[in-house]
Amino acid sequence: MTHALIVIDVQNDFCPGGALAVPEGDSIVAGINALMDTAEAVVLTQDWHPSGHSSFASSHAGRAPYDLIDMPYGPQVLWPDHCVQGSDGAAFHPDLNADRADMIVRKGYRPEIDSYSAFFENDQTTPTGLDGYLRTRGITALTMVGLATDFCVNFSAVDAAKLGFDVTVRMDLCRAIDLDGSLAAARDGMAAAGVTLT
């Protein structure tokens, strides 16, 4: 077994009607489930924020969602409150075949730092443990799908490529927020990092 499917943040809050809805976020679920049927290994990531997380606009007086602020680890987009631990919004989309997962990686649970990547917190140094898990299983190739293309999928794919994995992003099974050109920038950044976009 050398290949894993990494399913990024297919959660209620990122789907239509959710607190941070990605347009057509739910339209990829059936395709992801079909891909799981052929995958050697499946890992799901789950945004998992405590209430009052530092990335929430509501945690900063006078700030609005999508404002950009400087945090000790660098620039941070402020988001609407989303994927709060234990909430319905943090749950996987009900149609996602979550039972197929070999592992679930929860991220963003440290109150003081956000986590887009499945591999590192946004400081780019604090690991999630996924790298070690994949290596101990002998996995070298990754296919990534999920939400959102320009944030968590992008950061996960670039980090995986930097770590030496052979990474493919199935763009047809991702959807983007596209905040001020973030989708085009993400495509360029992933391609520059050696990620295959299909």
Residues annotated catalytic, as ranges = 9, 107, 152
Q: How far apart are CA 46 and CA 30, in angstroms?
A: 18
Rounded to the nearest 10 degrees, what angle do helices 182-192 and 154-162 cross at?
A: 10
Strand (E) or helix (H) holding 175: strand 166-175
Angle, CA 186 vertex, CA 185 and CA 191 arms, to 5°: 100
Cβ–Cβ < 8 Å for 160, 135: no
Q: How far apart are CA 60 and CA 172, in angstroms?
A: 36
Using the Cα atoms of residue 160, residue 190, residue 181 and residue 76 in order, give the sign of their dihedral. Answer: positive
Cβ–Cβ < 8 Å for 125, 132: no
Question: Virtual CA dihedral for 70, 181, 108, 73, nearest 10 degrees?
Answer: -30
Judged by DSSP in three states, 161 sits in: helix
